[in-house]
Structure 1
Amino acid sequence: MKKLFSMLLVLVILVAALSGCSSPTEEATTEEPTQAAETTEPEKKEAVVVKFGNAGAIGEPAPEACQEFCDLANEAFDGEFVFEFYPAEQLGNEGTMMENLQVDLQQGMMCSLDSLASYSKDINILSMAFAFESSEHMLNYLHSEVADPIWNALDDNGFHMVNFEFQKNPRIFFCKYPLYSPADMVGMKYRIPNLPIFEKNALAMGATPTVVSWSEYPFALLQGVVDGGECSKDSYKSAGLYEAAKYVTEVNYAYPVECIIFSKTFWDSLTAEQQDIVNECAEKAAEGYNETIKQKWEDDKAFLIDEGEVTFVEYDRQAFLDAAAPLAEALEEEGFFETEDLYNKVQAFK
C-alpha cells in the first residue's frame, strides 16, 4: 500500500514539473508578435536636394530674388524638397551652370535671359541695341507666338523655362570719361560678356570690345583692362562698377530680364502638382522683385550722385539711334536670328 502511494506521489510531482517547464515557453510565444509590432516604425522618405545657382554677388538684386524663391519653395514643399541656393558663381560661372543643368548636376539657376542666346538664336534680339522701346514692348513679344521658337529651342537643349518676368532696369553705358555720343566711344576698351551680340553692339558704337567675366569686371576697370562698358542699372552700384568708372550715359538701350530655368530632366521628373508649386513660387518672387527694383534705382542714383561722385552726362540719343540703325539688317544677314525678319515682327508689339 505504501509502495503504491509512493508511486502516485512521484507521478504527481512529474506532471507538475512538466507543466511548470512548458509555461514560460508558451508565454514567450504569445508575447513575441506583440513586442515586434510595438517596435515597427514607418520609414521616413529622404528630402530631395535641389541645387540652385546664380552668378551675382551677394547684395545684388538677382541673388536676393533667388534666395526668396528658394525660401518660398522650401516652405511650400515642407521637407519634400530642399532648395539650396549657391550665389556668386559657387557652382561655376553662368556657362558652367548651364552645362550642369543639361546633365542634371544641378537642378536650377537664375540668369539673364539673354545669356541663353547660344542655345536659342532669337534671344539675341533682346540684347540688340535699341530693338525695343520699353520693357512692356519686349514682354509683349516674349508672350506672343512669335517667341515660341525660343522656348522650343531651350527645351531641345535640356532647359525648361519657369519664369522670365524678373524685370531689370534698362541697360546703360558707363566709362572713365564722358560718353556724349558714339563718337566718344571710338577706341574705348569696352567690356562685353562672351556673347557675339554684345560684340556687334560695341562695334556699332565704335568701341573696341574686350571679353571680361562678370566676376572680374570691377577689377578689370580698376586695372585699366577696360575703360568702361555696359550693364543694367541695378548692377552698376551693387557690383561696385562706379568706383572706377564714374560717368554714366543713361541711354536705356535694352530692357533685360532675369529668368529662372531648370534642368529639363529634373522638371520632367516632377508631378504636375509639384510643377505648379515651383511656378507659383517663381511668380511670387518675380512680383516682389519687380515691386522694389525701380525704386532701388532711384535710391542708387541719389547715392551715386551725392556720395559716389558719379556724373550723369547729357547725351545725344539720336546719335546713338543712328549708330544702331544698320544693326538689324546686318544681324539678319549674319544669321543671328532663327525667325525670318524678326526685327520687323517684334516692332508690332510696341
Structure 2
Amino acid sequence: MLTRRHAIALAAALSLASVVPAAAQSVTLRSADIHPDGYPTVEAVKYFGEVVSQKTNGRIKVQVFNSGQLGQEKDTIEQTRFGVIDLNRVNTAPFNNLIPETAVLGLPFLFRSVDHMYKVVDGPLGEEIAKAFEPHGLIVLGFFDSGARSIYNSKKPIKTLEDMKGMKIRVQQSDLFIAMINALGANATPMPFGELYSALQTGLVDGAENNYPSYESVKHYEVAKYYSLTEHSMAPEVFVMSKRSWDKLTPADQAIFKDAGKQATLKMRELWAKRDADAKAVVIKGGALINEVDKKPFIDAMKPVYDKFVTSDKMKSLVERIRATQ
C-alpha cells in the first residue's frame, strides 16, 4: 500500500487533479473499479463520464479502469483520498473502519428491501452519511445498488445455522463482515475479491458471500455451485471523488458533477435490475443450485454483531431512523 508521502508525491507527478479548473484545456480523470467491463457499476461510471463530457463541451473526460487495473479496493481508496485516482466506485464495506457511519449501511438484515435501501440513501440519512466521507478526503457522488448478498460455497446447501459451522467463508476486508460470518458459526477469511476464484478452486476457502451479478461475472458458480439465499446484506456501493480533485473544480463544474452523479446512479440501478435477473439465469444454466433459507435463526444470531458495532448514540440513532423509514 502507498504511504501518505508516496501517494502525495505520485499525485503531484500525475497532476490530473491540478489542471482541471485552471483553464479550458482538456483533462481526463481516472476512475477505478474492480468489476469487469460491462458490469453495471462500470457502465454507470462510463455514462457519468459521457454526461460530464457533454456538459463541459469535452473539456473534462473520464476514463474508467475496470477489472482492478488500478488495484484492489483497499488500495484504490487510499489513492483516491490522496488524489492519485480521481474517481472510484467501491462497496461501502472497505470504508467501515475509516468511516463508522458506513458500517450502519452494511449491518445484516437492516434493510427490509431494495426499495427501503433506496429511500434511506436517497434521502436526508444518505446526505448525512455522505458528509461523513468529506473529512477523509472523499466526496460522495452517488449510492449505487449492490443487490442482496447471499452465501455460496463448494460443499453443500446452507439451510440452517448448523450448516455454517466450521466453513471457511471469504469476506471483504471489513471487521463488520468478519464478525457477521463468525457469528453464524463459520470462519471468516478476509481477502481481496480478485484472489477469490483460485481460493475457491484450491479449497483455501469453502465459500463466499455476494450478489448474483458478482457471483456470475467472475464465474464463481463454476467452483462454488451452492447458492443459499440468506440475503443478509443490502449494503450499497458508493461512487466517490477525491476531494483534492473536487476542490480543483469550479463551482459550475462541481454542480455538473453532482448532477451527473445523480444521473449515473439512476442509470446504474436500471442496469442493475436487468443484470441481476440475467445473472441469475446464467448461473442456474451453469449448474448453480439455489435454495431458500429460514432467515429467522440467522437474524437472531446477529444480536452480538449489533451490540459490538452499534455502540455510539449516533450509530444507534442512525439504525433507529433507518428502521423507521417507510
- TM-score (norm. length: structure 1): 0.80
TM-superposed deviation, 1:327:
2.5
Shift of 1:149: 5.2
Q: Quick one: distance in 1 between partners of 2:142 and 2:128? A: 16
- Deviation of the 1:338 alpha carbon: 5.1
Percent same amino acid among aligned pairs? Answer: 25
CA-CA distance at 1:150 after TM superposition? 2.8
Structure 1 or 2: more helix by fraction = 1
Report what 1:35 is aligned to.
none
* 1:117 has 2:93 as partner: no
**Contact 1:212–1:220 (8 Å) recurs in 2:** no
Question: What's the counterpart of residue 237 of structure 1?
Answer: 216
CA offset at residue 257 of structure 1? 2.0
More off after superposition, 110-119 vs 167-176: 110-119
Q: Which amino acid aligns with 1:76?
A: K
CA distance in 2, matches of 1:60, 1:182: 32
Amino acid at match of 1:329: D
Instruction: Measure the CA separation in 1 of the matches of 2:282 and 2:34.
Output: 25
Q: How far, CA to CA, are the matches of 2:262 and 2:318 in structure 1? A: 28
Residue 57 of structure 1 corresponds to: 36
* 1:263, distance to aligned residue in structure 2 (A): 1.0
Deviates more, 1:81-90 or 1:235-244: 81-90
Match of 1:74 among 45, 53, 71: 53
Q: Given that residues 173 and 248 in structure 1 are in contact (C-alpha distance below 8 angstroms), is that contact kept between their aligned partners in structure 2? A: yes
Over residues 12-61 of structure 1, what are the superposed CA-to-partner deviations in whole Å (9 max), with x where a residue is unaligned?
xxxxxxxxxxxxxxxxxxxxxxxxxxxxxxxx953122111112122332
Pairwise mapping of residues 158-173 of structure 1 onto structure 2 (< 5 A)? 158-164=137-143, 166-173=144-151
3-state SS in 2 of match to 1:226: coil
Distance 2:220 2:314 in 1: 34
Paired residue for 2:286?
Answer: 308
8 Å Cα contact 1:132/1:138 also seen in 2: yes
TM-score (norm 2): 0.85
Distance in structure 2 (CA, Å) of the matches to 1:211 and 1:114: 12
Is the 1:328–1:343 Cα contact (8 Å) retained in structure 2?
no
Question: Are residue 317 (structure 1) and residue 311 (structure 2) matched?
Answer: no
Aligned equivalent of 1:174, options 125, 128, 152: 152
Bigger CA radius of gyration? 1
Matched, 1:253 2:232: yes
Structure 1 pair 103/210, CA: closer, same or farther in 2 (3 Å)?
same
- The residue that corresponds to 1:103 in the other structure is 82
The answer to whether the aligner puts 1:346 opposite 2:289 as a matched pair is: no
* Unmatched 5+ stretches in structure 2: 1-22
Shift in Å, 1:143: 4.4
Matched, 1:222 2:181: no
Q: Give secondary structure in 2 for the equivalent of 1:292.
A: helix
Give the aligned partner of residue 9 of structure 1.
none
Go from structure 1 to structure 2 and tell me whether the alpha carbon gap of 1:65 and 1:184 turns closer, same or farther (over 3 Å shift): same
Instruction: Measure how far apart 1:227 and its partner are.
Output: 0.6
1:62 positional shift: 1.8
SS at match of 1:163: strand
| 1:137 aligned onto 2:116 | yes
Aligned to 1:183: 162
- Residue in 2 that maps onto 1:30: none
Q: Which residue of the partner structure matches residue 12 of structure 2?
A: none
In 2, Cα distance between the equivalents of 1:126 and 1:339?
10
Gaps of 5+ in 1: 1-43
Give, as a single letter, the amino acid of the residue that structure 1 aligns with 2:145: Q
Q: Secondary structure at the match of 1:230?
A: strand
Q: Is the 8 A contact 1:110 1:259 kept in 2?
A: yes
